[in-house]
Amino acid sequence: MALRKIITEEDPILRKKSKVVTVFDANLKELFKDMLDTVNKAQGAGISAVQVGILKRMFIIFDHKDPVFIVNPELIKYSGINKITMEGCLSLPGKWGDVERPNKVWVKYQDQDGNIVENKFTGFVAKAFCHEYDHLDGILYVDKADKLFNSYEEYIKYKKSQNKADDKK
């Protein structure tokens, strides 16, 4: 197991644009293995290479518990905006926010061997794809969040107060 340090929001690398991957070799697979070990240890829903300090257009998300290794992704189209839901990030520990994301995304990317893959992701997986995809362009979820919270407890308290207000209507 090779764990990588997860870069946090103070590091300016998170705001840089990642570079296209052109070499698909054992080093790329080793980086993916390290990223998988790191995201599993952190119990995250995904991780991009930039979050471990590598400016490459690649990330991992989970489609039902199975990791999907994504290189040089393209977002082809999307539909069905999710209602605004809670989002967090391994690079912004302890922070949460309400972010609007598509419910379905049609994407094109390369796998670890450089093969072209076309896929459709829905629900939480579509949201995770968009979150990690944004990382590749230096965008953090806090840039898109309607509301931000400094703890999960603060977020839950706010949501409960909103639900009570909605129930009174």
What's this model's pTM, rounded to 2 decimal places? 0.91
Q: Give tens-digit pLDDT for 38-77.
A: 999 999 999 999 999 999 999 999 998 999 999 999 999 9
- Across 108-129, average pLDDT: 96
Q: Which residues pair with 19 in a beta bridge?
A: 56
Long-range contacts of 9-14 (CB under 8 A, 24+ apart): 9/91, 9/92, 9/140, 11/53, 13/50, 13/53, 13/55, 14/50, 14/51, 14/91, 14/135, 14/138, 14/140
Catalytic center residues: 132
Say what the pLDDT of residue 83 is: 63
1-10, 14-23, 111-120: which range is least confident on average? 1-10
Pick from 47, 8, 9, 14: nearest CA to 31: 47
Alpha-carbon gap, residue 144 to 14, rounded angstroms: 15
Say what the pLDDT of residue 155 is: 82
Say what the pLDDT of residue 169 is: 62
Q: Give tens-digit pLDDT for 119-141.
A: 999 999 999 999 999 999 999 99
What are the structural domains of the chain? Answer: 12-168 (3.90.45.10)
